[in-house]
Amino acid sequence: MMAVDELDTRILRLLLEQPRTSVREYARVLGVARGTLQARLDRLERDGVITGTGPSLSPAALGHPVLAFVHIEVTQGHLDDVGDALAAVPEIVEAFSITGGGDLLARVVGRDNAHLEDVIQKLISLPGVVRTRTEVALRERVPYRLLPLVESVGRAVRT
C-alpha cells in the first residue's frame, strides 16, 4: 500500500466531489502550484490509487434497469476460460473470482426480467459453467462511493 498524505487526501476528495474541474482550478482551490498538483496526480495514477478518469454511466439510463448478481460455479481448472468468456458478454459489467458459494460473482444488467433470463441462459451454456445462482437487486441502498473511505484514510494520516 502506498503512503497517502494529507495533500493526497485533499486532492482525492476534490476529484470525487468536483470531477469535471481543471487541474489549474484544483491547484488554486488547494493553494498549491499546478506542477505540484500534476506530479501528485501522476504519482496517484502510477501507484494505482486513481484508476480512471472517465464518466460514470448508468446502465438503467442506457435501457438496462434490471441489476442482478450472479454466482457462477465453474468446473475445476476452467476459471480462466470462463472468466475470458464472461468478458465477451456485454451485459456483464463486472466479474470477480470469489471464495464461498461459487467461483465467480458477476454483476449483470438487463433490459427487463426476460432479457436477464436470456443472459443467464447464455452464461449457463458457457463451457466450464456448472451452475449459476442469481440474486436480483431490488433497490440501491448505498450507491458506489469512495469519499467516506478517502476521508477515513485522511483522518488516519492526521492521527
**Domain ranges in the chain?**
6-55, 59-137
Tens of pLDDT, residues 87-109? 999 999 999 999 987 899 999 99
Place of cell 450507491: 143
Return the pLDDT at 1. Answer: 55
Return d(Cα 149, Cα 147) in angstroms, integer: 5
Return d(Cα 54, Cα 56) in angstroms, integer: 7
Q: Which segments in the chain show pLDDT lower than 70?
A: 1-2, 158-159
Return the pLDDT at 64. Answer: 98
Return d(Cα 103, Cα 130) in angstroms, integer: 10
Q: What is the pTM of this model?
A: 0.84
Class of domain 59-137: alpha beta
Alpha helix locations (H) across 1-158?
6-17, 23-30, 34-46, 79-86, 113-124, 147-158
Of the candidates 118, 115, 117, 109, the one whose C-alpha atom is nearest the C-alpha of residue 140 is 109
Return the pLDDT at 159. Answer: 63
Q: What is the CA radius of gyration of the chain?
A: 20
Class of domain 6-55: mainly alpha
